[in-house]
Amino acid sequence: MKLCEFIRPTSLSEAREALRELGPKGMPLAGGTALHFMQTKTPVTAVDITRLGLSYIRQEGDFFTIGATTPLSDIQRHRAHGWAMHEIARNISTHQIRNVSTIGGNICRVFPWADLPVVLLAMNAHMVIYTGDGKEEEVAADDYFAAQPAKRFNGGNILTAVKVPVLKAHQGFGSVKAARNAAAFSLVTVCALLELDDGRIKTARVSAGSAIPFPHRLPSVETALIGREAVSAVFREAAAKSGTEVKWCAREGMSEDYTRQLAEVSLADALEKAAAYANGRTK
């Protein structure tokens, strides 16, 4: 993407006003690492949003609030009781990219390989969007990721924060990113949030991304889990239902069937991790 101008607003309202006026000729710039993946016919004005105080992680009641321009490396380093975002953040690209790429950049324009949308779908996160005049809108993950979120920002709106629930004692989260090597784009990313009650699964949120065109919840897998015992056989059986709502795609060197098998094995692993977390066996 070519830039014709670079502006550095000093407040959120100033940034939104500039973006609203610029329309399609403007673009928020966070880490700027995704601009290489984007093509536009005409050069755009970059509106730098990294100096607006939107880089932080704080616990507020039942949520961790992550500022939109928080780099992935800060998410990776953060530790707190009931926090589980660090594992997937560590698995995104390289040290240098994680130091620059932000959570907002990863989810405001969703690329098929993006890992955080998968996590945020399973976690039932809420996205906070500044809509101007001091007003904010909070959008739940299912709604936010129902379609390409980039449309929401066309009018100059700016994502300000992501609210991730603090995991409770009986809840557990697990994620698996299958890739050729540690820095590679995902072949398939899957996440699971389980709530256990006396060894049985009370609620489940399961999601997938990368081997499908757009990140997606997997309701058939969730239904196959609820009320059942949290054991490996049940996880494998549930994982086998994933093909009901998504069609796993063939990728470079991987047949459709290979992708499906990889996804099912990864799902079973993510469910094991989530159950182990809920049972307090892992950090």
Partner 1 sequence: MKADQNTVSFTLNGELKTFATEPDEKLLTLLRREGYRGTKYGCGQGTCGACTMILDGRAVYACLLYAKQAEGRSVRTIESAGTFEEPVEFQKELIAAGAVQCGYCIPGMVMSATALMETETVFEDEIVREYMDGNLCRCTGYEKIWIALRKVLDRREASDKAGNNSSAKGAK
Q: Which residues bind ligand FAD (CB under 6 A)?
A: 27-35, 49, 68, 92-93, 97, 100-102, 104-106, 108-109, 111, 113-116, 153, 158-159, 185-186
Between 187 and 206, CB nearer to partner 1: 187
Largest Cα span, the chain? 60
Length of the chain counted residue by residue = 283
Amino acid in the structure at residue 108: C
Phi, psi dihedral angles at 270 (to 5 degrees): -65, -40
Kindly tell me which of 74 and 195 has the beta carbon lying closer to ligand FAD. 74
Residue 231 structure tokens: 């054991």
d(CA 27, CA 188): 29
Whole-number Å distance between alpha carbons of 162 and 220: 27
Residue 39 in contact with partner 1, rule: CB under 8 A: no
Beta bridge partner(s), residue 132: 135
Token pair of 202, please?
């009370």
Taking the complex as a whole, the smallest distance from the CB of residue 80 to ligand FAD amounts, in Å, to 22
* Least distance (Å) between residue 126 CB and ligand FAD: 15
Nearer to partner 1, 38 or 147 (CB): 38
Q: Is 183 in the site for partner 1 (CB under 8 A)?
A: yes
Rounded to a whole number of angstroms, the minimum distance from the CB of residue 97 to ligand FAD is 5
Half-sphere CA count of 51, side-chain side, radius 13 A? 7
Residue 239 near partner 1 by CB under 8 A: no
**H helix count then E strand count, the chain:** 10, 12
Report the partner that residue 27 touches, choosing among partner 1, ligand FAD, none (CB closer than 5 to 8 A by kind). Answer: ligand FAD
Q: Is 13 in the site for partner 1 (CB under 8 A)?
A: no
Q: How far apart are CA 196 and CA 226, in angstroms?
A: 10
Rg of the chain (C-alpha set)? 19
Which of 155/199 has CB closer to ligand FAD?
155
HSE at residue 139, side-chain half, CA atoms within 13 A, is 22
Q: Between 35 and 224, whose beta carbon lies closer to partner 1? A: 35
Contacting range for partner 1; rule: CB under 8 A; set: 25-33, 142-150, 155-163, 242-250? 25-33
- The nearest distance, CB 105 to partner 1, in angstroms, is 12
Binding site for partner 1 (CB under 8 A): 2-10, 14, 18, 29, 32-33, 36, 43, 45-46, 48, 50, 73, 90, 93-97, 99-100, 182-183
